[in-house]
């Protein structure tokens, strides 16, 4: 059985609002929410809880995806990476520095790119860009 879900891209203006929208769509009816983590998103997409519980496949329509792409673009990604650098001992500063350098050169992944990569790694989720 397939579940049909919809992300409202206009609700996404930054990384925190992206995670709020993920919780709205996938965690409605649950008494807990996902933390603001890409690992948590990846875990969610394996299914077993939230809106995916009991469903073998899902079709996710992401409306106004271009607005989300912009909101989760270079500026948001830079701020996210720089925030990680302000947490010494928590993240690998060398790796983050390389990611920031690549982003500056226009070669690095944006937060949006990473999110798309995570969705693509889950073949039971069909993402429809609208």
Q: Which residues lie closer than 8 Å to 51 by C-beta, 6 or more apart?
A: 3, 5, 25, 26, 27, 28, 29, 58
Q: pLDDT tens-digit profile of 21-74?
A: 999 999 998 999 999 999 999 999 999 899 999 999 999 999 999 999 999 999
pTM, rounded to two decimals: 0.94
Residue 120 and residue 99 in one domain: no
Which of 111, 105, 51, 54 has its CA nearest to residue 80? 111
What's the chain's length in residues?
130
Query: Which pLDDT score is estimated for 89?
Result: 85
Residue 62 and residue 125 in one domain: yes
Residue 66 and residue 89 in one domain: no
Q: pLDDT tens-digit profile of 59-118?
A: 999 999 999 999 999 999 999 999 999 988 889 999 999 999 999 999 999 999 999 999
Going by pLDDT thresholds of 50, 70 and 90, the confidence category of residue 17 is very high
Residue 49 and residue 93 in one domain: no
Domain holding 88, by residue range, is 74-109
């Amino acid at each position: 059985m397939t579940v049909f879900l919809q992300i409202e891209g206009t609700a996404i203006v930054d990384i925190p609002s992206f995670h709020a929208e993920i919780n709205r769509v996938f965690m409605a009816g649950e008494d807990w929410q996902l933390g603001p983590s890409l690992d948590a998103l990846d875990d969610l997409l394996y299914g077993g809880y939230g809106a995916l519980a009991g469903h073998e496949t899902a079709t996710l329509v992401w409306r106004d995806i271009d607005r989300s792409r912009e909101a989760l673009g270079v500026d948001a990604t830079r701020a996210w990476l720089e925030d990680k650098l302000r947490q010494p001992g928590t993240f690998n500063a060398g790796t983050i520095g390389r990611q920031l350098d690549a982003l500056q050169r226009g070669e690095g992944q944006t937060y949006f790119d990473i999110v798309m990569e995570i969705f693509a790694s889950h073949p039971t989720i069909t993402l429809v860009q609208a």
